[in-house]
Amino acid sequence: MTFSVQINGQTHIVDVNGDTPLLWVLRDVLGMTGTKFGCGQALCGACTVHVDGVPTRSCVTPIESIVERQVTTIEALHTVEHGKALQEAWIELEVPQCGYCQSGQLMSAAALLNETPRPTDDDIDNAMSGNVCRCGTYQRIRAAIKRASA
Ligand code: FES
Ligand code: FES
C-alpha cells in the first residue's frame, strides 16, 4: 500500500505495509540512516524523531499513523528552533563518545528546549530520562543543553 509522508519538509510516497515502523521507512526505504535502531521497543530513545514537534520513538510508530503529520529527523535538526545551538554545544563540549545514541539525544533535547527554553537540571533529567547512553555521556549532555539554552 502506498502512503504519502512528510519528512523534513518534503513529501515522500512509500510503498509499505501500514504497520511498518517509521524507523524502517526512514532507514531502509528512504536511506535516511541518521536515526538509529537500538531496542526496537521504545525503551532506549535511539530512534527519536519529532512528529509535529513532539519527540517520538520511530521504532514503534506505524507509518499509517503519521500520514498528514510533519516528521523531523536528525538530518534536519538545524532547521528546528535551537537545533543549531544544540549542534554547536555538542561539538564544543565533545559530547559524543561512540555517538550511537546521540541523534536521539539531540532530538529529545531540541524538543525540550522548544517547550522549556531555560530548563533546570530536573527539567533536563525528566525530558532526557528515556534516552539511554551506554557510554555514560549524561553529564556532558546536560552541560550542552544548558549551553545551548544560554
Ligand atoms: S530503538 Fe526505538 S526506543 Fe530503542
Ligand atoms: S555516546 Fe555511545 S551510546 Fe551514547
- Domains of the chain: which residue ranges? 2-76, 77-149
Say what the pLDDT of residue 9 is.
97
Give the mutation target among 95, 107, 134 for probing the ligand 2 site: most ligand atoms within 8 A of CB: 134
pTM greater than the 0.85 cutoff: yes
CATH superfamily of 2-76: Beta-grasp domain (3.10.20.30)
Q: How confident is residue 115, by pLDDT bands cut at 50, 70 and 90?
A: very high
**Mean pLDDT, to the nearest integer, of 50-61?**
98
Q: What is the 3-state secondary structure (H, E, C) of 22-51?
A: HHHHHHHHCCCCCCCCCCCCCCCCCCEEEE
Say what the pLDDT of residue 49 is.
98
Other C-beta atoms lying within 10 Å of the C-beta of residue 73: 23
For the Cβ of 21 lying below 6 angstroms from any atom of ligand 1, the answer is: no
- Strand runs (DSSP E) across the chain, as ranges? 2-7, 10-15, 48-51, 54-57, 70-72
- Which overall architecture, per CATH, does domain 77-149 show? Orthogonal Bundle (1.10)
Is the distance from CB of 42 to CB of 30 less than 8 angstroms? no
Say what the pLDDT of residue 71 is.
98
Say what the pLDDT of residue 4 is.
97
